[in-house]
């Protein structure tokens, strides 16, 4: 569908408007501008609920929508695999760079909106499995995102997934992450071969890349600089990934914003990865949901 067709069929006055940017990609403004989404990748780029002086999601200053490329920041959808894959294909899957379709749009009480998108997979060089991915986003004073996968083919397949959420923070050295005490994790920054157990809350003084497994724990990101706490509550997800690149890796990556854009972001990702990877049988359906609140 083009912009005119989308607005005619799914647009909601003051709640949901579709438009095309200079790249030719289609974007959507939700809940009166509180959120913005790119249909390529079903990528939520921005969320700033009323009453918040700063966005809750971080988007690199270098990030501009480009056909066929993922954006640095917001909430990328990692699907149908998380991380690198021995069988080949792009890191974190290909869902971030394909055009998703709109399935439904509904107003919510209090001025919010629910937008549902889907991607039907029938054949792909990296993924020879028939399946459907569905992403539902509810934007209001809080944010809810669910990702559901259905095996529509005749053979089982393995599925790993994540909502790769980048949070906007005051300074990485000042924030703390609570909720993972006692949870085991794989230390990818340390090479990925060491399994450790979290002791207490997390503070950050160097590159951190950890996959916490076998836990549905709620996380709380405490940010004294912005005087707020971001609560990340999830269901159907047993993995939490915590990532900050720190200075050396940020400089090598080159797309985190100059001069110190990396200091203003922290990824707290919800999903299912490593030993929490799923196997979906033909006809089987799996979904997970994440609820984000700001206090």
Q: Which residues are catalytic?
A: 164, 269
d(CA 147, CA 271): 9
**CB neighbour list of residue 242: distance below 8 Å, 6 or more residues apart:** 177, 180, 202, 208, 209, 210, 212, 266, 267, 268, 269
Residue with tokens 């090479």: 191
Cα–Cα dist 124/177, whole Å: 38
Per DSSP (E only), the strands in 41-180 are: 43-47, 77-78, 101-108, 112-121, 131-139, 143-151, 157-159, 161-163, 166-168, 176-178
């Amino acid at each position: 569908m083009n912009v005119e067709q989308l607005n005619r069929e799914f647009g909601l006055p003051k709640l949901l408007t579709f438009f095309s940017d200079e790249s030719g990609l289609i974007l959507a403004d939700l809940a009166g501008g509180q959120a913005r989404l790119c249909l390529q990748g079903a990528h939520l780029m921005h969320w700033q609920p009323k009453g918040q002086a700063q966005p809750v999601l971080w988007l690199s200053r270098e990030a501009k929508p480009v056909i066929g490329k993922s954006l640095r920041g917001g909430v990328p959808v990692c699907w149908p695999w998380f991380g690198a894959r021995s069988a080949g294909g792009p890191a974190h899957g290909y869902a971030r760079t394909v055009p998703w379709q709109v399935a439904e749009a509904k107003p919510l009480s209090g001025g919010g909106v629910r937008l549902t998108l889907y991607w039907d997979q029938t054949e792909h060089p990296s993924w020879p499995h028939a399946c459907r991915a569905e992403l539902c986003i509810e934007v209001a004073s809080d944010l809810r995102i669910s990702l559901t996968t259905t095996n529509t083919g005749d053979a089982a397949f393995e599925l790993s997934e994540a909502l790769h959420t980048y949070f906007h923070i005051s300074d990485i050295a000042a924030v703390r992450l609570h909720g993972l005490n006692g949870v085991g994790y794989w230390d990818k920054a340390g090479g990925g071969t060491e399994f450790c157990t979290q002791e207490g809350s997390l503070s950050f003084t160097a590159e951190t890349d950890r996959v916490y497994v076998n836990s549905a724990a709620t996380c709380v990101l405490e940010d004294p600089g912005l005087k707020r706490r971001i609560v990340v509550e999830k269901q159907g997800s047993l993995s939490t990934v915590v990532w900050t690149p720190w200075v050396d890796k940020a400089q090598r990556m080159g797309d985190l914003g100059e001069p110190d854009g990396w200091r203003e972001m922290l990824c707290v990702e919800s999903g299912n990865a490593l030993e929490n990877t799923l196997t979906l049988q033909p006809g089987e359906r799996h979904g997970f949901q994440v609820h984000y609140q700001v206090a």
